[in-house]
Chains A and B, each alone.
Chain A
Protein backbone atom coordinates (compact mmCIF):
# COMPACT_ATOMS: atom_id res chain seq x y z
CA UNK A 1 0.00 0.00 0.00
CA UNK A 2 1.23 3.49 -0.85
CA UNK A 3 2.44 5.37 2.21
CA UNK A 4 0.62 8.50 3.36
CA UNK A 5 3.71 10.57 2.61
CA UNK A 6 4.09 9.26 -0.94
CA UNK A 7 0.40 9.80 -1.60
CA UNK A 8 0.58 13.40 -0.38
CA UNK A 9 3.69 14.11 -2.46
CA UNK A 10 1.96 12.76 -5.54
CA UNK A 11 -1.12 14.92 -4.93
CA UNK A 12 1.04 17.98 -4.36
CA UNK A 13 3.10 17.45 -7.52
CA UNK A 14 -0.02 16.98 -9.62
CA UNK A 15 -1.60 20.15 -8.20
CA UNK A 16 1.38 22.29 -9.21
CA UNK A 17 1.99 20.63 -12.56
CA UNK A 18 0.86 22.51 -15.69
CA UNK A 19 -1.47 21.03 -18.29
CA UNK A 20 -3.89 18.08 -18.40
CA UNK A 21 -1.49 15.28 -19.39
CA UNK A 22 1.65 15.57 -17.28
CA UNK A 23 3.37 12.63 -15.54
CA UNK A 24 2.43 13.73 -11.99
CA UNK A 25 -1.27 13.83 -12.81
CA UNK A 26 -1.00 10.41 -14.46
CA UNK A 27 0.78 9.00 -11.40
CA UNK A 28 -1.77 10.15 -8.80
CA UNK A 29 -4.67 9.18 -11.05
CA UNK A 30 -3.76 5.54 -10.44
CA UNK A 31 -4.69 6.06 -6.80
CA UNK A 32 -7.87 8.09 -7.10
CA UNK A 33 -11.31 6.55 -7.38
CA UNK A 34 -13.13 7.66 -10.54
CA UNK A 35 -16.84 8.40 -10.15
CA UNK A 36 -19.95 8.48 -12.35
CA UNK A 37 -19.28 12.00 -13.58
CA UNK A 38 -15.49 12.22 -13.42
CA UNK A 39 -12.28 10.43 -14.24
CA UNK A 40 -9.65 10.16 -11.51
CA UNK A 41 -7.65 13.00 -13.08
CA UNK A 42 -10.72 15.25 -13.18
CA UNK A 43 -11.18 14.80 -9.44
CA UNK A 44 -7.60 15.97 -8.85
CA UNK A 45 -8.07 18.90 -11.24
CA UNK A 46 -10.89 20.22 -9.03
CA UNK A 47 -8.23 20.66 -6.32
CA UNK A 48 -5.72 22.17 -8.73
CA UNK A 49 -8.22 24.87 -9.69
CA UNK A 50 -9.26 25.48 -6.08
CA UNK A 51 -5.71 25.70 -4.72
CA UNK A 52 -4.37 27.99 -7.45
CA UNK A 53 -7.54 30.05 -7.03
CA UNK A 54 -6.90 30.40 -3.29
CA UNK A 55 -3.28 31.49 -3.79
CA UNK A 56 -4.18 33.96 -6.55
CA UNK A 57 -7.01 35.42 -4.45
CA UNK A 58 -4.55 35.90 -1.59
CA UNK A 59 -2.17 37.77 -3.90
CA UNK A 60 -5.05 39.90 -5.14
CA UNK A 61 -6.15 40.75 -1.60
CA UNK A 62 -2.64 41.96 -0.72
CA UNK A 63 -2.05 43.71 -4.07
CA UNK A 64 -5.36 45.41 -4.98
CA UNK A 65 -3.67 48.32 -6.79
CA UNK A 66 -1.62 46.01 -9.02
CA UNK A 67 -4.80 44.12 -9.80
CA UNK A 68 -6.58 47.32 -10.70
CA UNK A 69 -3.69 48.49 -12.89
CA UNK A 70 -3.52 45.34 -15.02
CA UNK A 71 -7.12 44.16 -14.78
CA UNK A 72 -8.46 41.01 -13.17
CA UNK A 73 -7.81 38.65 -16.06
CA UNK A 74 -4.16 39.62 -16.51
CA UNK A 75 -3.57 39.65 -12.75
CA UNK A 76 -5.05 36.19 -12.29
CA UNK A 77 -2.96 34.75 -15.14
CA UNK A 78 0.19 36.38 -13.74
CA UNK A 79 -0.71 35.17 -10.25
CA UNK A 80 -1.11 31.59 -11.47
CA UNK A 81 2.37 31.64 -13.01
CA UNK A 82 3.76 32.95 -9.72
CA UNK A 83 1.78 30.45 -7.63
CA UNK A 84 3.00 27.49 -9.71
CA UNK A 85 6.63 28.38 -9.16
CA UNK A 86 6.39 29.73 -5.61
CA UNK A 87 5.47 27.30 -2.84
CA UNK A 88 3.83 28.76 0.26
CA UNK A 89 6.10 27.99 3.17
CA UNK A 90 3.85 29.19 6.00
CA UNK A 91 0.52 27.89 7.27
CA UNK A 92 -0.56 31.55 7.41
CA UNK A 93 -1.76 32.66 3.98
CA UNK A 94 -0.94 36.24 5.02
CA UNK A 95 2.74 35.31 4.65
CA UNK A 96 2.29 34.47 0.96
CA UNK A 97 3.62 36.79 -1.75
CA UNK A 98 6.77 38.28 -0.25
CA UNK A 99 8.72 38.26 -3.50
CA UNK A 100 5.79 38.91 -5.85
CA UNK A 101 7.35 42.29 -6.74
CA UNK A 102 10.64 40.62 -7.74
CA UNK A 103 8.69 38.11 -9.78
CA UNK A 104 6.80 40.87 -11.61
CA UNK A 105 10.09 42.64 -12.39
CA UNK A 106 11.09 39.56 -14.41
CA UNK A 107 7.63 38.77 -15.82
CA UNK A 108 7.96 39.48 -19.53
CA UNK A 109 4.26 40.10 -20.36
CA UNK A 110 4.21 42.93 -17.77
CA UNK A 111 7.51 44.50 -18.92
CA UNK A 112 5.78 47.56 -20.39
CA UNK A 113 4.42 48.49 -16.98
CA UNK A 114 7.85 49.47 -15.69
CA UNK A 115 6.49 50.67 -12.33
CA UNK A 116 4.34 47.60 -11.57
CA UNK A 117 7.00 45.67 -9.62
CA UNK A 118 7.56 48.63 -7.28
CA UNK A 119 3.82 49.07 -6.77
CA UNK A 120 3.68 45.40 -5.73
CA UNK A 121 6.62 45.94 -3.34
CA UNK A 122 4.84 48.95 -1.83
CA UNK A 123 1.62 46.98 -1.35
CA UNK A 124 3.52 44.13 0.29
CA UNK A 125 5.17 46.51 2.77
CA UNK A 126 1.77 48.09 3.48
CA UNK A 127 0.37 44.62 4.20
CA UNK A 128 3.24 43.75 6.54
CA UNK A 129 2.97 47.05 8.39
CA UNK A 130 -0.77 46.57 8.81
CA UNK A 131 -0.20 43.25 10.60
CA UNK A 132 2.99 44.22 12.48
CA UNK A 133 3.18 44.13 16.27
CA UNK A 134 2.10 47.24 18.18
CA UNK A 135 4.77 49.31 19.92
CA UNK A 136 5.22 52.49 21.96
CA UNK A 137 6.87 55.56 20.50
CA UNK A 138 10.41 56.56 21.44
CA UNK A 139 11.14 57.50 25.06
CA UNK A 140 12.27 61.08 24.48
CA UNK A 141 13.10 61.68 28.17
CA UNK A 142 15.42 58.66 28.27
CA UNK A 143 17.06 59.86 25.06
CA UNK A 144 17.60 63.28 26.60
CA UNK A 145 19.22 61.66 29.63
CA UNK A 146 21.96 59.89 27.65
CA UNK A 147 25.35 61.17 28.85
CA UNK A 148 27.36 63.29 26.39
CA UNK A 149 30.14 60.68 26.34
CA UNK A 150 27.71 57.90 25.33
CA UNK A 151 26.02 59.79 22.48
CA UNK A 152 28.23 58.24 19.81
CA UNK A 153 27.15 54.76 20.92
CA UNK A 154 23.44 55.34 20.40
CA UNK A 155 21.86 52.88 17.96
CA UNK A 156 18.46 54.13 16.85
CA UNK A 157 15.64 51.84 15.70
CA UNK A 158 12.98 52.32 13.07
CA UNK A 159 9.43 51.30 14.02
CA UNK A 160 8.98 47.50 13.98
CA UNK A 161 6.35 47.99 11.29
CA UNK A 162 8.60 50.18 9.10
CA UNK A 163 10.27 49.39 5.80
CA UNK A 164 12.07 51.70 3.38
CA UNK A 165 11.39 51.62 -0.33
CA UNK A 166 13.03 53.54 -3.13
CA UNK A 167 11.59 53.63 -6.63
CA UNK A 168 12.45 55.40 -9.88
CA UNK A 169 8.71 55.88 -10.43
CA UNK A 170 6.07 57.81 -8.48
CA UNK A 171 4.62 54.65 -6.92
CA UNK A 172 3.21 56.51 -3.93
CA UNK A 173 1.17 58.72 -6.25
CA UNK A 174 0.10 55.68 -8.31
CA UNK A 175 -0.97 53.96 -5.10
CA UNK A 176 -2.94 57.01 -3.91
CA UNK A 177 -4.93 57.65 -7.07
CA UNK A 178 -5.90 53.97 -7.19
CA UNK A 179 -7.46 53.88 -3.74
CA UNK A 180 -11.25 53.37 -3.68
CA UNK A 181 -11.82 56.60 -1.78
CA UNK A 182 -9.57 58.78 -4.00
CA UNK A 183 -11.59 61.61 -5.54
CA UNK A 184 -8.79 63.91 -6.80
CA UNK A 185 -6.92 64.18 -10.07
CA UNK A 186 -6.11 60.76 -11.58
CA UNK A 187 -3.13 61.97 -13.62
CA UNK A 188 0.30 60.57 -12.80
CA UNK A 189 3.49 61.90 -14.39
CA UNK A 190 5.89 58.97 -14.69
CA UNK A 191 8.82 61.40 -15.11
CA UNK A 192 8.42 62.89 -11.64
CA UNK A 193 11.64 61.21 -10.63
CA UNK A 194 12.76 58.97 -7.82
CA UNK A 195 10.68 58.58 -4.65
CA UNK A 196 11.98 57.45 -1.29
CA UNK A 197 9.34 56.06 1.05
CA UNK A 198 8.92 54.77 4.56
CA UNK A 199 5.90 52.48 5.00
CA UNK A 200 4.85 52.05 8.62
CA UNK A 201 2.07 52.14 11.18
CA UNK A 202 1.57 54.29 14.27
CA UNK A 203 -1.22 52.93 16.47
CA UNK A 204 -3.95 52.10 13.99
CA UNK A 205 -2.84 54.73 11.49
CA UNK A 206 -1.12 53.50 8.34
CA UNK A 207 1.56 55.77 6.84
CA UNK A 208 3.32 55.95 3.52
CA UNK A 209 5.61 58.97 4.00
CA UNK A 210 7.87 60.48 1.35
CA UNK A 211 11.43 61.16 2.50
CA UNK A 212 13.93 63.67 1.17
CA UNK A 213 17.42 62.45 0.26
CA UNK A 214 18.91 63.41 3.63
CA UNK A 215 16.23 61.77 5.80
CA UNK A 216 16.45 58.73 3.54
CA UNK A 217 20.21 58.55 4.04
CA UNK A 218 19.85 58.81 7.83
CA UNK A 219 17.06 56.22 8.11
CA UNK A 220 18.88 53.82 5.77
CA UNK A 221 21.97 54.01 7.99
CA UNK A 222 19.86 53.45 11.10
CA UNK A 223 18.21 50.53 9.36
CA UNK A 224 21.67 49.09 8.65
CA UNK A 225 22.48 49.24 12.37
CA UNK A 226 25.00 52.11 12.33
CA UNK A 227 25.72 53.97 15.57
CA UNK A 228 25.13 57.69 15.90
CA UNK A 229 28.93 58.10 15.96
CA UNK A 230 29.26 56.38 12.60
CA UNK A 231 26.33 58.29 11.13
CA UNK A 232 27.82 61.61 12.32
CA UNK A 233 30.88 61.16 10.13
CA UNK A 234 28.88 60.15 7.04
CA UNK A 235 29.00 62.35 4.00
CA UNK A 236 25.95 64.56 3.41
CA UNK A 237 24.68 64.17 6.96
CA UNK A 238 26.40 67.22 8.47
CA UNK A 239 23.12 68.82 9.58
CA UNK A 240 22.14 65.96 11.92
CA UNK A 241 20.99 68.55 14.50
CA UNK A 242 18.07 69.33 12.25
CA UNK A 243 17.37 66.08 10.48
CA UNK A 244 17.44 63.80 13.54
CA UNK A 245 14.73 65.68 15.50
CA UNK A 246 12.72 65.93 12.27
CA UNK A 247 12.77 62.13 11.92
CA UNK A 248 11.95 61.57 15.61
CA UNK A 249 9.02 64.01 15.47
CA UNK A 250 7.58 62.24 12.43
CA UNK A 251 7.68 58.93 14.28
CA UNK A 252 10.19 57.36 11.86
CA UNK A 253 12.52 56.59 14.75
CA UNK A 254 10.79 54.51 17.40
CA UNK A 255 13.50 53.60 19.89
CA UNK A 256 17.18 53.41 20.70
CA UNK A 257 19.75 51.34 22.54
CA UNK A 258 23.31 51.99 23.66
CA UNK A 259 25.93 49.87 21.99
CA UNK A 260 28.20 48.39 24.64
Chain B
Protein backbone atom coordinates (compact mmCIF):
# COMPACT_ATOMS: atom_id res chain seq x y z
CA UNK B 1 0.00 0.00 0.00
CA UNK B 2 1.16 3.50 -0.76
CA UNK B 3 1.77 6.26 1.71
CA UNK B 4 1.38 9.98 1.20
CA UNK B 5 5.09 10.38 1.84
CA UNK B 6 7.84 7.80 2.03
CA UNK B 7 10.07 9.80 4.33
CA UNK B 8 10.15 7.90 7.62
CA UNK B 9 9.90 9.63 10.98
CA UNK B 10 12.18 8.82 13.90
CA UNK B 11 12.65 10.01 17.45
CA UNK B 12 10.42 12.02 19.75
CA UNK B 13 7.89 14.35 18.13
CA UNK B 14 5.47 16.85 19.60
CA UNK B 15 1.76 17.51 19.11
CA UNK B 16 1.39 20.80 17.21
CA UNK B 17 -0.90 23.27 19.01
CA UNK B 18 -1.93 26.73 17.82
CA UNK B 19 -0.34 28.64 20.69
CA UNK B 20 3.08 27.37 19.57
CA UNK B 21 2.82 28.08 15.80
CA UNK B 22 4.71 31.33 15.88
CA UNK B 23 7.50 30.13 18.14
CA UNK B 24 8.05 27.04 16.00
CA UNK B 25 8.14 29.01 12.76
CA UNK B 26 10.41 31.69 14.27
CA UNK B 27 12.91 29.45 16.07
CA UNK B 28 12.72 26.26 13.96
CA UNK B 29 13.46 23.98 16.95
CA UNK B 30 15.18 20.66 16.27
CA UNK B 31 12.11 18.49 16.71
CA UNK B 32 12.07 15.48 14.35
CA UNK B 33 8.32 15.67 13.51
CA UNK B 34 4.97 17.11 14.56
CA UNK B 35 1.53 15.56 14.84
CA UNK B 36 -1.66 17.53 14.21
CA UNK B 37 -5.30 16.89 15.05
CA UNK B 38 -6.82 16.40 11.62
CA UNK B 39 -10.22 17.94 12.34
CA UNK B 40 -8.63 21.24 13.38
CA UNK B 41 -7.64 21.77 9.73
CA UNK B 42 -10.93 20.88 8.06
CA UNK B 43 -11.71 24.59 7.68
CA UNK B 44 -9.92 24.62 4.28
CA UNK B 45 -8.86 28.27 4.61
CA UNK B 46 -7.45 30.89 6.90
CA UNK B 47 -4.71 30.90 9.48
CA UNK B 48 -4.81 27.31 10.78
CA UNK B 49 -4.05 25.66 7.44
CA UNK B 50 -1.62 28.47 6.54
CA UNK B 51 0.40 27.75 9.68
CA UNK B 52 0.25 24.02 9.14
CA UNK B 53 1.60 24.38 5.61
CA UNK B 54 4.49 26.53 6.87
CA UNK B 55 5.28 23.93 9.56
CA UNK B 56 5.04 21.15 6.99
CA UNK B 57 7.66 22.89 4.84
CA UNK B 58 10.08 22.43 7.75
CA UNK B 59 9.03 19.13 9.36
CA UNK B 60 7.39 15.76 8.65
CA UNK B 61 3.82 15.67 9.94
CA UNK B 62 1.46 12.90 11.04
CA UNK B 63 -2.35 13.28 11.02
CA UNK B 64 -4.22 12.12 14.10
CA UNK B 65 -8.01 12.17 14.25
CA UNK B 66 -10.90 11.43 16.56
CA UNK B 67 -13.70 11.69 14.00
CA UNK B 68 -13.70 8.45 11.99
CA UNK B 69 -15.91 6.71 14.54
CA UNK B 70 -14.70 3.39 13.13
CA UNK B 71 -16.51 1.38 15.77
CA UNK B 72 -19.90 3.02 15.29
CA UNK B 73 -22.75 0.85 14.03
CA UNK B 74 -23.52 3.76 11.66
CA UNK B 75 -22.23 3.58 8.09
CA UNK B 76 -18.85 5.27 7.58
CA UNK B 77 -19.03 9.02 7.04
CA UNK B 78 -17.52 9.53 3.57
CA UNK B 79 -17.89 13.33 3.76
CA UNK B 80 -15.55 13.24 6.71
CA UNK B 81 -13.20 10.86 4.92
CA UNK B 82 -13.18 13.06 1.81
CA UNK B 83 -12.16 16.08 3.91
CA UNK B 84 -9.46 14.01 5.55
CA UNK B 85 -8.19 12.77 2.21
CA UNK B 86 -8.05 16.31 0.85
CA UNK B 87 -6.04 17.39 3.89
CA UNK B 88 -3.74 14.39 3.47
CA UNK B 89 -3.11 15.25 -0.18
CA UNK B 90 -2.28 18.80 0.86
CA UNK B 91 -0.06 17.96 3.86
CA UNK B 92 1.41 14.59 2.81
CA UNK B 93 1.48 13.05 6.28
CA UNK B 94 3.73 10.15 7.21
CA UNK B 95 0.85 8.41 8.97
CA UNK B 96 -2.90 8.80 9.49
CA UNK B 97 -4.30 7.50 12.75
CA UNK B 98 -7.58 7.22 14.64
CA UNK B 99 -8.92 5.19 17.56
CA UNK B 100 -10.29 1.83 18.56
CA UNK B 101 -13.53 3.48 19.67
CA UNK B 102 -16.81 5.03 18.56
CA UNK B 103 -17.90 8.65 18.86
CA UNK B 104 -21.27 8.70 17.10
CA UNK B 105 -24.50 6.78 16.71
CA UNK B 106 -27.49 7.67 14.51
CA UNK B 107 -25.46 10.61 13.20
CA UNK B 108 -25.09 12.19 16.64
CA UNK B 109 -21.52 12.88 17.75
CA UNK B 110 -20.29 12.94 21.32
CA UNK B 111 -16.69 14.00 20.47
CA UNK B 112 -15.28 11.76 23.17
CA UNK B 113 -13.93 8.28 22.55
CA UNK B 114 -16.37 5.68 23.80
CA UNK B 115 -15.21 2.11 24.41
CA UNK B 116 -16.44 -0.83 22.35
CA UNK B 117 -17.75 -4.17 23.55
CA UNK B 118 -15.01 -6.55 22.39
CA UNK B 119 -17.22 -9.13 20.71
CA UNK B 120 -16.99 -11.11 17.47
CA UNK B 121 -19.67 -8.83 16.00
CA UNK B 122 -17.67 -5.70 16.85
CA UNK B 123 -14.47 -7.24 15.50
CA UNK B 124 -16.02 -8.14 12.14
CA UNK B 125 -17.59 -4.69 11.85
CA UNK B 126 -14.51 -2.75 12.93
CA UNK B 127 -12.18 -4.69 10.64
CA UNK B 128 -14.53 -4.09 7.71
CA UNK B 129 -14.61 -0.35 8.43
CA UNK B 130 -10.81 -0.15 8.65
CA UNK B 131 -10.51 -1.99 5.32
CA UNK B 132 -12.96 0.42 3.68
CA UNK B 133 -11.16 3.48 5.01
CA UNK B 134 -7.74 2.16 3.98
CA UNK B 135 -9.10 1.46 0.53
CA UNK B 136 -10.58 4.98 0.29
CA UNK B 137 -7.49 6.80 1.60
CA UNK B 138 -5.02 4.56 -0.19
CA UNK B 139 -2.87 3.99 2.88
CA UNK B 140 -2.71 1.87 6.00
CA UNK B 141 -4.26 3.32 9.11
CA UNK B 142 -2.67 3.38 12.54
CA UNK B 143 -5.26 2.32 15.12
CA UNK B 144 -4.77 3.63 18.65
CA UNK B 145 -5.84 1.91 21.86
CA UNK B 146 -8.10 4.26 23.84
CA UNK B 147 -8.15 4.95 27.55
CA UNK B 148 -11.46 3.81 29.00
CA UNK B 149 -13.56 4.16 32.11
CA UNK B 150 -16.12 1.45 31.59
CA UNK B 151 -16.29 -2.11 30.31
CA UNK B 152 -19.18 -4.20 29.05
CA UNK B 153 -20.44 -7.45 30.54
CA UNK B 154 -21.02 -9.17 27.21
CA UNK B 155 -17.57 -9.58 25.65
CA UNK B 156 -15.75 -12.38 23.83
CA UNK B 157 -12.16 -11.24 24.30
CA UNK B 158 -9.81 -8.76 25.93
CA UNK B 159 -8.82 -5.51 24.24
CA UNK B 160 -5.35 -6.86 23.38
CA UNK B 161 -6.82 -10.03 21.90
CA UNK B 162 -9.17 -7.86 19.87
CA UNK B 163 -6.25 -5.77 18.57
CA UNK B 164 -4.19 -8.82 17.62
CA UNK B 165 -7.11 -10.24 15.64
CA UNK B 166 -7.93 -6.86 14.07
CA UNK B 167 -4.42 -6.55 12.67
CA UNK B 168 -4.75 -9.96 11.05
CA UNK B 169 -8.11 -9.19 9.48
CA UNK B 170 -7.67 -5.56 8.44
CA UNK B 171 -3.90 -5.51 7.79
CA UNK B 172 -3.69 -2.20 9.64
CA UNK B 173 -0.86 -0.80 11.75
CA UNK B 174 -0.97 0.36 15.36
CA UNK B 175 -0.42 3.44 17.42
CA UNK B 176 0.39 2.27 20.92
CA UNK B 177 -0.60 4.82 23.57
CA UNK B 178 1.42 3.89 26.65
CA UNK B 179 -0.47 6.32 28.86
CA UNK B 180 -3.84 4.93 27.74
CA UNK B 181 -2.83 1.35 28.49
CA UNK B 182 -1.66 2.38 31.92
CA UNK B 183 -4.87 4.37 32.60
CA UNK B 184 -7.16 1.59 31.37
CA UNK B 185 -5.14 -1.04 33.22
CA UNK B 186 -5.55 0.86 36.48
CA UNK B 187 -9.26 1.51 35.85
CA UNK B 188 -10.12 -2.06 34.82
CA UNK B 189 -7.55 -3.99 36.82
CA UNK B 190 -5.53 -5.57 34.00
CA UNK B 191 -1.77 -5.77 33.65
CA UNK B 192 -0.46 -3.24 31.10
CA UNK B 193 2.73 -5.29 30.72
CA UNK B 194 0.75 -8.31 29.59
CA UNK B 195 -1.02 -6.03 27.09
CA UNK B 196 2.31 -4.71 25.82
CA UNK B 197 3.82 -8.14 25.36
CA UNK B 198 0.84 -9.41 23.39
CA UNK B 199 1.00 -6.66 20.74
CA UNK B 200 1.40 -8.11 17.25
CA UNK B 201 4.99 -7.98 16.06
CA UNK B 202 6.14 -5.29 13.67
CA UNK B 203 2.86 -3.36 13.64
CA UNK B 204 3.40 -0.52 16.11
CA UNK B 205 4.52 2.47 14.00
CA UNK B 206 4.04 5.18 16.59
CA UNK B 207 3.77 5.62 20.35
CA UNK B 208 1.87 8.27 22.34
CA UNK B 209 2.80 9.63 25.75
CA UNK B 210 0.70 12.05 27.82
CA UNK B 211 -0.20 12.92 31.39
CA UNK B 212 -3.32 11.59 33.08
CA UNK B 213 -5.19 13.09 36.01
CA UNK B 214 -6.07 11.31 39.25
CA UNK B 215 -9.78 11.59 39.96
CA UNK B 216 -11.69 10.03 42.85
CA UNK B 217 -10.68 6.38 42.57
CA UNK B 218 -9.83 6.35 38.86
CA UNK B 219 -7.39 7.80 36.36
CA UNK B 220 -8.67 10.20 33.71
CA UNK B 221 -6.80 10.82 30.47
CA UNK B 222 -6.77 14.63 30.34
CA UNK B 223 -3.56 15.19 28.33
CA UNK B 224 -2.97 18.11 30.68
CA UNK B 225 0.14 17.07 32.62
CA UNK B 226 3.69 15.85 32.28
CA UNK B 227 4.04 12.10 31.76
CA UNK B 228 3.77 10.35 35.13
CA UNK B 229 6.56 8.09 36.52
CA UNK B 230 4.73 4.74 36.16
CA UNK B 231 4.01 5.60 32.52
CA UNK B 232 7.71 6.35 31.92
CA UNK B 233 8.50 2.97 33.44
CA UNK B 234 6.05 1.24 31.12
CA UNK B 235 7.46 3.29 28.22
CA UNK B 236 11.03 2.09 28.95
CA UNK B 237 9.78 -1.49 28.82
CA UNK B 238 7.85 -0.68 25.62
CA UNK B 239 10.98 0.64 23.88
CA UNK B 240 13.00 -2.30 25.16
CA UNK B 241 10.39 -4.65 23.71
CA UNK B 242 9.46 -2.86 20.45
CA UNK B 243 12.63 -0.91 19.67
CA UNK B 244 12.85 2.88 19.18
CA UNK B 245 9.39 3.44 17.72
CA UNK B 246 8.71 7.16 16.95
CA UNK B 247 7.10 8.64 20.06
CA UNK B 248 4.81 11.64 20.44
CA UNK B 249 4.30 13.94 23.42
CA UNK B 250 0.59 14.88 23.51
CA UNK B 251 -0.79 17.82 25.48
CA UNK B 252 -4.33 19.13 24.93
CA UNK B 253 -5.50 20.89 28.09
CA UNK B 254 -3.75 23.75 29.92
CA UNK B 255 -1.15 23.71 27.16
CA UNK B 256 2.18 24.86 28.63
CA UNK B 257 5.13 26.76 27.16
CA UNK B 258 6.72 25.00 24.21
CA UNK B 259 9.90 24.29 26.20
CA UNK B 260 7.96 22.04 28.60
CA UNK B 261 6.96 19.86 25.64
CA UNK B 262 10.54 19.87 24.36
CA UNK B 263 11.69 18.76 27.81
CA UNK B 264 9.26 15.83 27.78
CA UNK B 265 10.28 14.92 24.23
CA UNK B 266 13.95 14.96 25.28
CA UNK B 267 13.16 12.47 28.05
CA UNK B 268 11.51 10.13 25.54
CA UNK B 269 14.43 10.61 23.16
CA UNK B 270 16.84 9.63 25.92
CA UNK B 271 14.93 6.40 26.58
CA UNK B 272 15.21 5.55 22.88
CA UNK B 273 18.90 6.51 22.70
CA UNK B 274 19.76 4.47 25.82
CA UNK B 275 18.05 1.48 24.28
CA UNK B 276 20.00 1.94 21.04
CA UNK B 277 23.28 2.20 22.99
CA UNK B 278 22.47 -0.97 24.93
CA UNK B 279 21.48 -2.92 21.84
Contacts and interface: CB of A to CB of B under 8 A. Distances in A.
Interface string B191-221: 0000000000000000000000000011010
Given A36-B189, A92-B67, A130-B46, A43 B149 contact: yes
Interface in A150-172: 161
Contacts of A132: 43-46
Given A4-B121, A8-B102, A31 B154 contact: yes
Contacts of B121: 1, 3-4
Nearest to B50: A204
A203 to B, nearest CB: 9
Contact of A94 (B39, B104, B122): B39
B119 A33 contact: no
A95 B153 CA distance: 35
Contact of A43 (B50, B122, B150, B154): B150
Interface stretch (A65-73, A82-90, A105-113): A82-90
Interface in B124-143: 125
Which 3 residue pairs of A and B lie closest in terms of their CB atoms, listed nearest first?
A131-B43, A91-B67, A43-B150
Contacts of A93: 39, 109, 111
Interface residues of B, number: 49
Interface in B44-84: 44-48, 50, 67-69, 71-73, 77, 80, 83
Nearest to B73: A5
B73 A51 contact: no
A91 B151 contact: no
Interface residues of A, number: 47
Given A4-B117, A4-B121, A31-B153, A12 B105 contact: yes
Contacts of A31: 117, 152-154
Nearest to B122: A4
B48 A12 contact: no
Contacts of A1: 119, 121, 154
A14 to B, nearest CB: 11
A88 B108 contact: yes
Nearest to B107: A89
A244 B74 CA distance: 50
B45 A35 contact: no
Contact of B149 (A47, A55, A204): A47
Listed residue (A92, A93, A132, A133) with the most chain B CB atoms within 10 angstroms of its CB:
A92
Interface in B78-127: 80, 83, 102-112, 114, 116-117, 119, 121-122, 125
B192 to A, nearest CB: 16
Interface in A108-134: 130-134
B19 interface: no
Interface of B: 39-40, 42-48, 50, 67-69, 71-73, 77, 80, 83, 102-112, 114, 116-117, 119, 121-122, 125, 149-154, 187-189, 217-218, 220
Interface in A1-21: 1-5, 7-9, 11-12, 15
A7 B117 contact: yes
Given A32-B151, A94-B42, A132-B45, A89 B218 contact: no
A24 to B, nearest CB: 13
A248 interface: no
Q: Name, among A5, A55, A91, the residue most crowded by chain B CB atoms within 10 Å (CB to CB).
A: A91
Given A37-B218, A43-B150, 20 more contacts: A1-B121, A4-B121, A8-B114, A32-B150, A32-B151, A35-B187, A35-B189, A43-B151, A46-B150, A50-B149, A51-B111, A87-B107, A89-B108, A91-B77, A92-B39, A93-B39, A130-B47, A132-B43, A134-B45, A204-B50
Contact of A133 (B45, B71, B187, B188): B45
Given A1-B119, A31-B154, A92-B67, A47 B114 contact: yes
Contacts of A135: 45
A43 B72 CA distance: 20
Contact of A51 (B110, B154, B189): B110
A51 B42 CA distance: 22
A239 to B, nearest CB: 34
Contacts of A8: 72-73, 102, 105, 114
A47 B43 contact: no
Contacts of A51: 110-112
